[in-house]
Chains A and B, each alone.
Chain A
Amino acid sequence: MTRAPLVLAILVAGAAAFGSVAIAVRGPAVPEPRVTGRPIQVAEAGYVSSDTCRACHPSQYATWHRSYHRTMTQVATPDTIAASFDGVTVDAVPGSPMVLEQRGRELWADFEDPDAGGQTGVRMGVRHPSDPSLASGREQVAIGSRRIKRQVVMTTGSHNQQIYWYATGNSRVLGQLPAIWLTADRRWIPRRAAVMRPPGGSHVSETGAWNGICVACHTTNGQPQFDTPFGSAAIASQTADTRAAEFGIACESCHGPSDAHARANRNPLQRYTSHLTGRPDPTIVQPLRLPPARSSQVCGQCHSFWEFADPESERHASARGLPYRPGDDLAATRFIVQPTKNLDTPEMKAFLASDPGFIRDIFWSDGMVRATGREYNGLIDSPCFKNATDPARTLSCFSCHTMHQTPDDGRLIAEWADDQMAPRSLGNDACLQCHARVARGGPQDISAHTRHLAGSSGSSCYNCHMPYTTYGLLKTIRSHQISSPSVQATLETGRPNACNLCHLDKTLGWTAQYLDTWYGLTPPALGADEQSVAASLLWLLKGDAGQRAIVAQSMGWPAAQQASGTGWLTPYLALTAKDSYDAVRYIAARSQRTLPPFRRDQLPRGNPQLLIEANGTFNAEVVNRLTRARDNRRVFYRE
C-alpha cells in the first residue's frame, strides 16, 4: 500500500514528460491573436466559426470539411501544403531559381524580391491582381535581382492549384511566391503562366493582394483592416491588421453570423420545438429556404463580377470588409456587372473608364460571361432564371449544386467535392424537372429532341445548353448561362457553339444546316471559310487566345474525340503548342497527352474541311492564311 503514492507520482511524471515532448515536437501553439506576420482568425462580430457548428451539425460539417471551399485559404504547414518544401529548387520562376526549405514545421522560400524594383497594387472588387492592365497609375515592375528569404505562412487553393503567400515583415501584409503548384500535374509553374494573359511583359508584384482582395471571398467575414484604402498608396507605405472570422469559405459564409443561433439552440426545448414543428429557425439563414434569387445571391457574393457601388463602399470594404450578409439583397451593396442590362449605367461607365478592356475580355460581345468562377453572372442571364415566374420552377444554384453531400449520393466524397453536384443533377434530370415534355421517348429518352442516340453525349442537356465556353484556372468549364446552339450567335460573338465543340471536324455551314433541319433555325449568311473549313480549326488558327484555349481543351475531350476522330488532332495541337500564350500552350499539351501516338497513315486524307490533302499533307496555304489572320488582341482574363 505504501508504494501506491510513488507509483502514482511516477505515472504523473511520465505523462507530463510525454506531453512536454509532444508539445516540443509540434511546436508551441501560439494563440491566434498573438500571431504576427500574417492575417489572423478571430471570431467576432457575431461569428462563431465552424467548430461551434460541428457539435450540432456533424454531417454537414463533415461534408464541408472535405470540400475545396474549406481549403481555399489555409495556414501554411507541412500538413496543408500540396507541394514539397523539403530542400526543393524551383526553376519555374522569373530570374534565378527559388529555393524552398522546411525547418521543422516552418516553411521558407529564398527567391528574387518581386518588390525590389518598385511597387504595384490593385483595388478590391472585380479587379484581379494579376492583370497588368489594371495597375492604373502604377508602374509595372521587373522582378528584382535582390534575393530575399521569407517564411511562407498562407496558402490559397488546393483543388486545381495552390498559391503560396509569405510574410513580408510589414504588419500582416502578405506577398506571393513567384511560382504556383499545379495539383493534378504535381509541378511548379510560374505564377504569370497560370493565368490567361498576354505574352511578354514583366512580373507583377502581388504584395498586399491577399489582404486587399483575396480576403473578401477566400475567408469568412474577411476584413482587410488597411490603415489607408488599399491601392491608394504604395503597399510598402501601408499597414494592414487583416483578419477573418475563419480562413476558407466556412459555414457562416453561407449561413451568416451564427452566434445568436448557437446561443438560442443551447436550449434543448428550442431545438426540439424546431425539429418537431419543422418551423424555420429565425436565428440563422438557410439558403435553401430563401427565394431562388436570394439563395443564388449567397453564391453570387463570390461567384460574380461586381464593382463597388460608390467610392465610400470601397473605402469601407478596405477597412471593415464587405457588408453583404447571406439573405441580404446583393445588389443593394454592390454593382453586379451585367452587360445585357446595365452597360449604359453611370456605374458601368465609371468602371469602364478605369478599365476599358474589362467587358471585352470577360464577356462575349452578347454579354455572356466567359471567365470561370463568375457563374452567377451566367445564371441571372439564363432564361430559366430571368423568365421564370414560379419560384418553385426558377433556376438557382441549388437546382443543380449542393453544398453538403446528401446521404443518397453514392459517390465517394472526393468525387462529389469536385463540382458539388447534387446526385439528381448528374444527368438530364436537372433539366427534366421543368422540361419534362422534352423526354418524349420515355423518362430519360430525349433523343427525339436531341436527334442523337439516347444516353450518348449528344443527348446530354448540359453538352448542348451549357457547353464549355468559359475559361479559367487553365481549363474550360461549362457556361452557366443556359443557351441553345446558334451559328448566328457564333458569328456575332465568336463564341464556339456546342455542336462544333463536339463535332470538331465539321464546318459552321454543316451545323447551320442541321439546326435548320432539326429546329427550324434560319441559316445565317456564311463566308467561304465558314462553309469549307472545320469551325474548330477557324477558332484554333485565327481565334483570340480565349477561343484557342476553348478549342484546344475540346480536342482533349473524350466526347469530341469520339465524335470527330483523333487521327488528325495531333498536328494541330502540336501547332498550338507553339502558341504565344502560356495558358493555351499548356492546355494544348494536356490535350495532346490524351491522344494515341500520332500515325500519319491514320490521317483522314482528302478531307478539305480539316485542310488535309489526298496525299496526307496539310493545306499549308490555308493554314498559313488563317494563322496570319489570327486575332492577336491582348487577352486578359480576370480569373
Chain B
Amino acid sequence: MSVDYGRRHLRFGWWSLLLFATLGLVLESLQGLKVRAYLDVSNETRRLMWTLAHAHGTLLAIVHVIFALTWRSAPASLPSPRLISASLIAASVLLPGGFFLGGVTFYSGDPGVGVLLVPIGGVLLLFALFSIARAAAGSR
C-alpha cells in the first residue's frame, strides 16, 4: 500500500500552521490584556518558552508544506520516505510541545522538565532535514 506523503504533509502542515498561528494570536492577546501569568517578570521563562513554541511550531508547519511540495516534484528521490516523514512529524510535535510544556511549570530561569522533549525533537528534525538535503543533492 503506497502512502501519499505529499497529501499527508500538506494536511499536517496547514493544520499545524493554523494551530500555531492561533497560539500566536493567543500570546498576542495575553500581551494585549497584560495577563500577569504571562508578562510578569517572574514569568519570564514562561514567556520565552511559549514564544519559542509558537515560533518553532509555525516554522515547522511551513517545513511540512515545503516537504509535501518537494515530495510531489520528485517522489522517487527520497531514500526512506516513511522514516523521514515520521521524523518530521515527531519533531513537529516534540519541539513546540516541549517548549510549551517547559513554560507551563518552570523553575525560575529553568524551564519545566517538559523541555526535555525539545532535544529529542531537534535530533529528529536534523535527521529529516539531512535526509531530504542529501536526496535533493543526489537528484541533481
Contact = CB atoms under 8 A, between A and B. Distances in A.
B42 A56 contact: no
A55 B109 contact: yes
Interface string B25-44: 00000000000100011111
Contact of B42 (A271, A276, A407): A407
16 contacts: A56-B110, A58-B108, A58-B109, A59-B42, A59-B44, A59-B108, A60-B108, A62-B42, A62-B44, A63-B41, A271-B110, A272-B110, A272-B113, A275-B110, A276-B113, A407-B36
A57 interface: yes
A380 B69 CA distance: 75
Interface string A334-345: 000000000000
A271 B115 CA distance: 14
B109 A57 contact: yes
Contacts of A271: 107, 110
B87 interface: no
A58 B107 contact: no
Interface string A46-72: 000000000111111011000000000
A149 B39 CA distance: 47
Contacts of A63: 41
Range class of the B interface residue count = 10 to 19
Contacts of B36: 407
B12 to A, nearest CB: 31
A423 to B, nearest CB: 14
Nearest to A61: B41
Interface in A270-312: 271-272, 275-276
Interface in A581-607: none
Interface in A248-282: 268, 271-272, 275-276
Nearest to B40: A407
A407 B36 CA distance: 9
A52 to B, nearest CB: 12
A325 to B, nearest CB: 23
A272 B114 CA distance: 12
B58 interface: no
B45 interface: yes
Interface in B113-127: 113
B113 A57 contact: no
A60 B44 CA distance: 11
Given A58-B45, A59-B108, A62-B42, 4 more contacts: A56-B109, A59-B43, A271-B107, A407-B40
Nearest to B116: A272
Contacts of A56: 108-110
Contacts of B110: 56, 268, 271-272, 275
Contacts of B40: 59, 407
B41 A58 contact: yes
Those 9 A-B pairs whose CB atoms lie nearest each other, nearest first: A59-B42, A56-B109, A62-B41, A275-B107, A58-B44, A407-B42, A59-B41, A57-B108, A58-B109
Contacts of B44: 58-59, 62
Nearest to B113: A272
Interface in A13-69: 55-60, 62-63
Interface string A104-136: 000000000000000000000000000000000
A58 B45 CA distance: 8
Contacts of B43: 59, 407
Contacts of B42: 59, 62, 407
A338 to B, nearest CB: 38
Contacts of B41: 58-59, 62-63
Nearest to B107: A275
A270 to B, nearest CB: 11
A268 B110 CA distance: 9
A62 B108 CA distance: 12
B116 to A, nearest CB: 9
A58 B48 CA distance: 12
B40 to A, nearest CB: 6
A284 to B, nearest CB: 13
Contacts of B45: 58
Contacts of B109: 55-58
Contacts of B107: 271-272, 275
A407 B107 CA distance: 14
Interface in A350-399: none
A62 B42 CA distance: 8
Contacts of B108: 56-60
Contacts of A58: 41, 44-45, 108-109
Contacts of A268: 110
A285 B36 CA distance: 30
Contacts of A59: 40-44, 108
Contacts of A275: 107, 110
A296 to B, nearest CB: 25
Contacts of A57: 108-109
Nearest to A54: B109
Interface in B80-119: 107-110, 113
A275 B36 CA distance: 23
B15 to A, nearest CB: 33
A268 B44 CA distance: 19
A372 B45 CA distance: 39
Nearest to A407: B42
Nearest to A65: B41
A271 B110 CA distance: 8
B94 to A, nearest CB: 18
Contacts of A60: 108
Nearest to B48: A58
Among B40, B43, B108, the one with the most A-chain Cβ atoms within 10 Å of its Cβ is B108
A541 B44 CA distance: 56
B63 to A, nearest CB: 27
Nearest to A63: B41
B41 to A, nearest CB: 4
A57 B108 CA distance: 6
A268 B113 CA distance: 11
Nearest to B112: A275
B75 to A, nearest CB: 33
Interface string B41-65: 1111100000000000000000000
B85 to A, nearest CB: 31
A63 B40 CA distance: 11
